[in-house]
Structure 1
């Protein structure tokens, strides 16, 4: 990613205040909403089957997170996907713990065929979604990010989407491109919701990018850079996960595009 593209993506989010519909798990709803507000987006937790499809048609982007689904929420997610697809709204699939549990695996395997703009998960989830593994230990990955590169490329090419793999280094993959991103802090995995809220931020960036003419790859990469740069700053100011939480939200709000570019490093993967 060029500095210009990163700055354009950050600016697009903060100027357009994308409306992000979050169909997400009950554990992370509050932190997800706070993170979206901090980066400059507007959260909406609209997930009922009766309203989700209509709302997806007016949202800037839709997050589908399969973390704690009920039967009603499955119906809401299906309605939101249909509404987003019909309206051309970009949507993100976060296949939480896919491979480990039969019902959510079946749901995610169907959802991925319905046109997500991006898929965001850990290495075990991405491998399982591509049929290359059986998933991790619940929500925790049991394989490293590099091991999921081929699976990510397969998904990106088959479904014409961006695939983002989170880990010690993040990997952003699209049909013709793959980019390593180094950012973040060791406290991030110790705070509930960092990964799930990252999916929401990817959604915000994709919604803003669509209107600004920024590529989906650059949008997802910028979302990860924003989150990771804030994590690095917060970690340097914190004694542990509790103080990290507050410092991280503050950093998400305060960092400029120039700050974010300075605090992360990107490396393109050779074909």
Structure 2
């Protein structure tokens, strides 16, 4: 796969409006990330308007990190609009294995047909119905341990499934890729993982879900590598990361992407 830079340019040319129903912790950094990559973010979660607003957006992300029953209803309404319109939407099943409420909410959302499901290894294992060792939103399982679960979940749901970790794994159930871009500082920044969902959604507006997801993961991880090279800790990493996202060129992405077939 060598079209990562093309996918970046196509996304920026469209400057898609991405509707995000995400957690309170992620809203600010996610909006800044989407602005830096060249997309347009919106954080809209009121049940009274989500379906109408989803009709205006090119993509949707759903993150259950701080969900409550009203938010889950809103997520379902927005997801239905996207699925019916054939527009991409991304589900992030944060901490799905922690409580029955999260399990039930995610089962309902998976049934609504997400284009892409992205989570850590423990979340993907739990969502696939396999025993996982996660602690809240933190993974306690390896990406390798979740690969078979990711394949099964992709085949069952019809979604592209991305397992985030030191080396990401992404699959549509038939074709799979490893993405090795990233930096150890990235997990130390609050909601940086949540913000990735918006980037994946933006890429999926202009490209099929599997290559869009692989390219978005490589882009995000490469920006992390660049930020890590010029910062000394998490305080300096965040602004450097936004600058790296903003300044990334198609040629730099093609040269730096570490994507290989699984």
User: Which digits, 9 at most, give the CA deviation of each residue in 1:164-220, with x for residues without a partner?
Assistant: 0110001111121110011111100000111100111111111222xxxxx211000
Distance of 1:153 and 1:105 partners within structure 2: 19
Match for residue 117 of structure 1? 115
Match for residue 212 of structure 1? none
Which residue, 220, 226, 230 being the options, matches 2:223?
230
Contact residue 4 and residue 257 of structure 2 kept, 8 A: no
Distance of 1:237 and 1:159 partners within structure 2: 41
What do you get for the CA RMSD once the two structures are aligned? 1.0
Q: Out of 227-236 and 82-91, give the one that drifted further.
A: 82-91
Match for residue 65 of structure 2? 67
Q: Out of 62-71 and 232-241, give the one that drifted further.
A: 62-71
Match for residue 212 of structure 2? 219
Unpaired segments of 5 or more residues in structure 2?
Answer: none
Instruction: Tell me the secondary structure at the aligned position of residue 172 of structure 1.
Output: strand
Alignment pair present for 1:257 and 2:250: yes
Match for residue 145 of structure 2? 147
Match for residue 127 of structure 1? 125
Match for residue 107 of structure 1? 105
Contact residue 180 and residue 268 of structure 1 kept, 8 A: yes
| TM-score after normalising by structure 2 | 0.97
Distance of 1:237 and 1:127 partners within structure 2: 35
Match for residue 57 of structure 1? 55
- Count of residues in correspondence between the two structures: 262
Distance of 1:154 and 1:190 partners within structure 2: 30
Q: Out of 66-75 and 37-46, give the one that drifted further.
A: 66-75
- Hey, which bits of structure 1, 4+ residues long, moved more than 4 A? none
Match for residue 247 of structure 1? 240
| TM-score after normalising by structure 1 | 0.94
